[in-house]
Structure 1
Amino acid sequence: MRNRAPRSRPLRAVFAALTLVAGTMFGLAVSAPAHALGNGLALTPQMGWNDWNAFGCNVSEALVKQTADIIVSSGMKDAGYQYVNIDDCWMTGSRDGGGNLVPDPAKFPDGISGTAAYVHGKGLKLGIYESAGTATCAGYPGSLNHEQADANSFAAWGVDYLKYDNCNNQGISAQTRYTAMRNALANTGRPIVYSLCNWGQESVWTWGAGVGNSWRTTGDISANYTSMLSIFHSNVSLAQYAGPGGWNDPDMLEVGNGMSFTEDRSELSLWAEMAAPLISGTDLRSATPATLSLYTNKDVVAVDQDSLGKQGTEIASAGGADVLAKPLANGDVAVVLFNENASAQTISTTASAIGISSASSYTLNNLWSHVLTSTTGTISASVPGHGSVMYRVSHGSGSSTGTTHPLIGASSNRCLDVSNGSTTPGTQLEIWDCNGGSNQAYTLTAAGELRTLNGTLCLDANGQGTTAGTKVITWNCNGQSNQKWNVNPDGSISGAQSGLCLDVTGGNVPAGNVNGTLIELWGCNGGANQQWRLG
């Protein structure tokens, strides 16, 4: 929510943060509260969508229904997203004669109950918005002193989730106002996830677990890297307060709203590592395959949804090179290497530093590229500016070298393809709908080759070209350097000879991602059309 906070809010947030730090530094009693809400909900962080970041007050029944359709058809539902959440401006400007909230009949001709029935019919759940004040942030009737009546309406309409904002709060303690709605929701007997949105005021993390299922730890996020980074810094230090049923909430995801693909991927990596609610704030109806490839990465989502319920902690942060570690229920550890800076840098840690039990070797599963590598203890990667590399670290040895997989492009969700399965050397590579054919299967060899068509041909930089625009073709395997490739931790594949990246030509725009789009070498730029994952 673009909340209309009092002018003193930033100072309050700073004071709260300083109080927490001071308590830690000087031995004061700052301890995590018990998770006492006990409504049995949000045992893992909430996942879904909210309309505000992309639409503001332009919410409608049609938008909610269309979004529910997309969540199903895009694979987001299968990945775990289930809440379709309505934000502010859904109601009329006044209550009815009985003091009840009234859905705007122009925006919601079937009412909230009819909208909920449609969403439920898709196997999803519906969320709604209110404010713990006399009015919402957009000026519609608030719930202060109407808590039970409003909770009864939400339950009768079939609502499954309440986002409860903080505008026009009359200076009344947040804990008092939010507890009143907690009790009202409980009295309805309907299971309703309760999301506290009080902007991180009054050290909400110290009492939120007894009141709600999640609590905003910061002010509002914006669709830019600076905002995302600031909110990450505020939220990452609060890990001790999160756990099953109650989560630190660094606000909705801006993935798809204008940051670069690299920055979008960092946001989703960091939010998953911090066990944050994953609530998309973009227009999913027009989301690109690149955006959807981020939201639907089940390996990353699994880190967020891990049943152990631990928020990842920052174990190193020097010069903008951050290392986060999150223990997982099966004994693995999820690690994010995050580069806050604009230029690439190598970020390193060790298995012992991340807290995984001692072993002779470890497998690093790159959760974005799905490439497996082995290490005896050092975890290191070259991380692009504003980028992140995310690993799941486990005991034992594993490697993608010598295994055969399709290579799927992030910008298209299509496979690297030898046109028509041609065995004629010199055929230029393209992208095509994935079909499981041998002309879409590639084996990374120990020599750095990418062999295809059952190992008979190699990917080749045409004419040993080292300039942008060089065609990527198949050729008889000959061991030359123009047939050697680096599968990089950031998901790019670069030529060992040229240093240029495997690129879907023109794939930085949707029109450049259709079947038959050709592959060339181009300067590495972090674009989604240069990102690949093993299928």
Structure 2
Amino acid sequence: MRTLDVTNACRVAALLALACVLAGPNLLADEIAGEILTPPPKPQPRINGAKAFGVRPGHPVLYTIAATGKRPMTFSVANLPEGLHVDARTGRISGTLTRRGTYRMTLRAENALGKAQRELRLVVGGDVLLTPLLGCNTFGGWGSRVTDANLRAAAKAMVDKDLINHGWQYINIDDGWQGCRGGPFNAIMPNEKFPDMKALCDYIHGLGLKAGIYSTPWMTSYAGFIGGSSDDPKGAWTKPAKPQDGWRCGKHFFEANDARQWAAWGFDYAKYDWSVNSVELTKRMTDALAACDRDIVIELSNSVPLTGAAEYTALADLSRTTGDLVDFWNRDAMDNPAMRRWAVGIREVWLKHDAWAPFQRPGHWNHACNLRIGLLGGWRDRPLTPSHLKPNEQYTHISLWCLWGSPMIIGTPIERLDPFTLSLLSNDDVLEVQQDPLGEQGRRMPLPVGEAAVKRMEDGTRAVGLFNVDEEPKQVTIQWADLKLNAPQRVRDLWRQKDLGVHAKGFTATVQPHGVVMVRIVPAAAAP
């Protein structure tokens, strides 16, 4: 049984993390660093992103072929159904399909150095989100101070930093856009920070991306803006002295009004945020969205009750499994006693999320909260400062979310990404685990030393994370017999994108404190 020693590989990360702490809150984004394990993309084409895509009959299709490689690059699609069109320069597939069914097509990308192709299953039916969402959200960076300019900057950066070519798609507004009720649908209108919502959505769509919005069934949102209900039949709202005074549902609900307005503007995603406690309210909103003439996926946030998981997950596309994650390993590491009362760290999410595994499937994803890497400050209502998570902990964070198949929603301003953080978000071997269309959530497996998370993939292989939750380096071993495997396996280190050879009975790695070694395991007889 061979051993992978990553001790030296992580020393630089630890030293740089210490430098971040000593430098204080004025540290610039490009000075935040850790050991970058992700190799640069090769210049030849590689197709990434979703292998399965859902759309409802007659609704608009927008699918951008995600492909890394040197530009210029041309795109084509074999067996493209009638009603759809592909832009050969951008790789955007658009149009509509009215007939239900599964359409199998071959995506192709070509540049001067080579060609790549991969199958896409486009399913016209009831489920839309057939692989876990990849996107961003404004609250972790900007909080309720978010503006139209912040969304446009995020969309532009998602393209300029090449995240779109790794499969990232959604640009989502959080709390803070709301003004007052009005307009043609008597819906919530934007405040002065968002002068033209349709123009904003058109801009995002024009880049090949998708747009998301935020609301709540309460009268007042968490940040103190108008919500989706009112005690007044026309929806009048008075700002309460304290936001929490409005954290209740009014007598009259306006989810149909708001959904129609979101569709008219062109939104593709809605975060519905409150202390989730009503299947009826959830169904009212999902029915309102289903009645629209475009697909709008819905996230239920936050802390969806596990006792009602079967009912909630049958309705929503994403369900938040815990409270609000902040950028600490666990509650004990939080420097603010008040924060410990409402927030969770990586370890608390880790221990709770596993119970949700039976409820995950293509079309519904267990959402473990937004990513806490990069520059953050939104929920603190303070200037942006580096994540408190150490580099090893950030690798664990991303590895867990990918092994779980959790949606990954970037919580830092994308335009401010440093090279280390960008490397965490652009490793295609790692992202392929998250995007696997089988949709199984990786399960926690205690080991004699350390822990594992094991995910079964659509092709029958397994992705495995070996984790060290202790404060000292550990040798972590997984035996093939623990995985019900009885033959030698070929092992690939996913973060380094490096083959580690054939291992007869198991695999051992030296894993740093709060760190991970993430591998893909393929039967040796089946491996190329």
TM tier relative to shorter chain: 0.5 to 0.7
Are residues 204 and 294 of structure 1, via their aligned partners in 2, closer, same or farther at CA, if it must alter by over 3 Å?
A: farther
- Which amino acid letter does the alignment assign opposite residue 216 of structure 2? S
Distance 2:412 2:309 in 1: 27
Q: Secondary structure at the match of 2:412?
A: coil
Contact residue 155 and residue 207 of structure 2 kept, 8 A: yes
Match of 1:368 among 495, 500, 522: 495
| Counterpart in the other structure of 1:313 | 443
Match of 1:127 among 212, 220, 237: 212
| Counterpart in the other structure of 1:331 | 460
Match of 1:45 among 107, 132, 138: 132
Contact residue 151 and residue 171 of structure 2 kept, 8 A: yes
- Report the CA distance between 1:40 and its aligned residue: 2.2
Instruction: Note the 1:27-176 alignment, pairs <5 A.
Output: 39-95=126-182, 99-104=186-191, 106-109=192-195, 111-144=196-229, 145-166=253-274, 173-176=277-280
Are residues 344 and 398 of structure 1, via their aligned partners in 2, closer, same or farther at CA, if it must alter by over 3 Å?
A: farther
Which protein shows a greater Rg?
1
Structure 2, unmatched stretches of 5+, are 1-55, 57-124, 230-252, 331-344, 376-386
Contact residue 120 and residue 126 of structure 1 kept, 8 A: yes
Q: Deviations over 1:329-355 (max 9, x none)?
A: 111100001111121111111223124
Distance 2:184 2:438 in 1: 48
Distance 2:138 2:522 in 1: 38
- Which amino acid letter does the alignment assign opposite residue 223 of structure 2? A
Instruction: Note the 1:274-313 alignment, pairs <5 A.
Output: 274-313=404-443
Q: Deviations over 1:202-233 (max 9, x none)?
A: 63422222110010111000011111111111
Q: Deviations over 1:470-522 (max 9, x none)?
A: xxxxxxxxxxxxxxxxxxxxxxxxxxxxxxxxxxxxxxxxxxxxxxxxxxxxx
Q: Secondary structure at the match of 1:195?
A: strand
Distance 1:348 1:139 in 2: 49
Q: Secondary structure at the match of 2:291?
A: helix
Match of 2:316 among 212, 228, 233: 212
Distance 1:285 1:124 in 2: 16
- Which amino acid letter does the alignment assign opposite residue 175 of structure 2? D
Q: Secondary structure at the match of 1:343?
A: coil
- Does residue 1:183 correspond to 2:287, yes or no? yes
Match of 2:403 among 270, 273, 284: 273
Q: Secondary structure at the match of 1:323?
A: strand
Distance 1:73 1:46 in 2: 20
Percent of residue pairs bearing the same amino acid type: 31
- Which amino acid letter does the alignment assign opposite residue 349 of structure 1? I
Q: Secondary structure at the match of 1:233?
A: helix
Distance 2:143 2:209 in 1: 22
Distance 2:168 2:506 in 1: 34
- Which amino acid letter does the alignment assign opposite residue 152 of structure 1? R
- Which amino acid letter does the alignment assign opposite residue 401 of structure 2? W
Contact residue 154 and residue 415 of structure 2 kept, 8 A: yes
Q: Which has the higher contact order (CA 8 A, sep 6+)?
A: 2
- Which amino acid letter does the alignment assign opposite residue 246 of structure 1? H
| Counterpart in the other structure of 2:363 | 245
Distance 1:208 1:348 in 2: 37
- Which amino acid letter does the alignment assign opposite residue 304 of structure 2? G
Q: Secondary structure at the match of 1:101?
A: strand
Distance 1:329 1:209 in 2: 22
Contact residue 247 and residue 275 of structure 1 kept, 8 A: yes
Contact residue 179 and residue 189 of structure 2 kept, 8 A: yes
Q: Could you say which structure has the higher strand fraction?
A: 2
- Which amino acid letter does the alignment assign opposite residue 151 of structure 2? V
Contact residue 333 and residue 354 of structure 1 kept, 8 A: no
TM-score (norm 1): 0.64
- Which amino acid letter does the alignment assign opposite residue 371 of structure 2? L
Distance 1:143 1:240 in 2: 31
| Counterpart in the other structure of 2:44 | none
Distance 1:382 1:72 in 2: 37
- Which amino acid letter does the alignment assign opposite residue 364 of structure 1? V
Distance 1:81 1:181 in 2: 26
- Does residue 1:343 correspond to 2:472, yes or no? yes
- Does residue 1:387 correspond to 2:506, yes or no? no
Are residues 339 and 61 of structure 1, via their aligned partners in 2, closer, same or farther at CA, if it must alter by over 3 Å?
A: same
| Counterpart in the other structure of 1:193 | 297
Q: Deviations over 1:137-165 (max 9, x none)?
A: 11222123101000000100000000100
- Which amino acid letter does the alignment assign opposite residue 310 of structure 1? E
Distance 1:293 1:155 in 2: 34
Q: Secondary structure at the match of 1:92?
A: strand
Distance 1:305 1:318 in 2: 30
- Report the CA distance between 1:241 and its aligned residue: 1.0
Match of 1:263 among 374, 388, 393: 393
TM-score (norm 2): 0.64
Contact residue 315 and residue 354 of structure 1 kept, 8 A: no
Contact residue 282 and residue 312 of structure 2 kept, 8 A: no
Q: Secondary structure at the match of 1:389?
A: strand
Match of 2:352 among 234, 244, 248: 234
Are residues 89 and 379 of structure 1, via their aligned partners in 2, closer, same or farther at CA, if it must alter by over 3 Å?
A: same
- Does residue 1:203 correspond to 2:331, yes or no? no
Distance 2:321 2:406 in 1: 11
- Report the CA distance between 1:189 and its aligned residue: 2.7
Are residues 279 and 391 of structure 1, via their aligned partners in 2, closer, same or farther at CA, if it must alter by over 3 Å?
A: same
Distance 2:290 2:526 in 1: 49
Distance 1:98 1:68 in 2: 28
- Report the CA distance between 1:385 and its aligned residue: 0.3
* Superposition RMSD in Å: 2.1
Q: Secondary structure at the match of 1:348?
A: strand
Q: Deviations over 1:42-82 (max 9, x none)?
A: 11111100011111112111111111111112121111110
Are residues 204 and 71 of structure 1, via their aligned partners in 2, closer, same or farther at CA, if it must alter by over 3 Å?
A: farther
Distance 2:278 2:447 in 1: 33
Distance 2:370 2:352 in 1: 15
More divergent stretch after superposition (310-319 vs 327-336): 310-319
Q: Deviations over 1:80-104 (max 9, x none)?
A: 1100000001021455696321111
Contact residue 94 and residue 140 of structure 1 kept, 8 A: no
